[in-house]
Amino acid sequence: MTLLTLVRHGQTDWNLARRIQGSTDIPLNDEGRADARTAAGRLAGSVHHAIYASPLLRARETAEIISAELGLEPPVLVPDLREREFGEGEGLLVSDYIGRYGDWSAPVPGAETLEGVAERALSALDEIARDSRRRSTPAAESVIVVAHGGVIRALIDHVSGGTLPRIGQVIANGSAHRFEASPGSLRLLEQTVLV
C-alpha cells in the first residue's frame, strides 16, 4: 500500500482570469508560488518519501518548491499526469466555455473525455506507486503527486462512482487529496486537506 497525496498546482494568471488552461503550458504567478510554499508547510507535518509531478510548468514548479521546502529529491516528471486536453475549448474563459458547450462533460472537438483522463491518471498513479517502492529503501509509503484540477477531479469522480466531487465543488489551487493505492485499487481517504 502507498499513500498518495495529490496536490493541485499553485495559481496561474489564467486561473485568476478563470481561463481554461488544459495542456497550455502556463507558469505560476507570485500567488501560485505562495500557494506552493503554503502547501509545503502543511505537508511538513507528515513524512513523505518522494514527489512526482505533471511536466507542465505550473505543476513542475509547484513540485520543485515543495520538494525544496521538504528536503526531498527533485520531482520525477510523469507525462500522464498532465491536465485534460480541452481541444477547441482551451484558452476560453470558463463562462464562454459553459455558454458554448453547456457543461464539462459535453463533447468538445479535440478534447479528452473525463473518463479518458481518469484512465490515463489511474495508470500513472499505479506506475508511481510501483516506481516509488522500487526507488526507496525502505519502500516508499507516502508520496506527493502534483497534478491539475481536472486530473484530480476525474480521479475523485472515478473512485467515488460519480458521487464526488459535488457539483460546484472547487479543487482549489494548493489543495490536496489523500488516496491509498494498492495493486489494482485506488481509494480516496481524505478530500481537500491543506486548505
**Domain of 113: which CATH number?**
3.40.50.1240
Q: Is 83 a catalytic residue?
A: yes
Please name which of 132, 154, 131, 141 lies closest in space to residue 1, comparing C-alpha atoms.
141
Q: Give the pLDDT of residue 154.
A: 94
SS3 call for 67 = helix
pLDDT in tens, 25-51: 999 999 999 999 999 999 998 999 999
Q: Give the pLDDT of residue 139.
A: 57
Total number of domains in the chain: 1
Please name which of 70, 106, 83 lies closest in space to residue 14, comparing C-alpha atoms.
83
Average pLDDT across the chain, whole number: 93
Q: Give the pLDDT of residue 195.
A: 42
Residue type, 193: V
The residue that leads in pLDDT, 79 or 133, is 79
Q: Is 69 a catalytic residue?
A: no
Q: Which listed residue (48, 49, 83, 148) is catalytic?
A: 83
Q: Strands 50-53 and 185-193, how do they pair?
A: unpaired
pLDDT in tens, 168-184: 788 999 999 999 998 88
Residue type, 82: R
SS3 call for 28 = strand
* Proportion of the chain above pLDDT 70, given as a percent: 95
Containing structural domain, residue 67: 2-193
pLDDT in tens, 84-143: 999 999 999 999 999 999 988 889 999 999 999 999 999 999 999 988 877 765 555 899
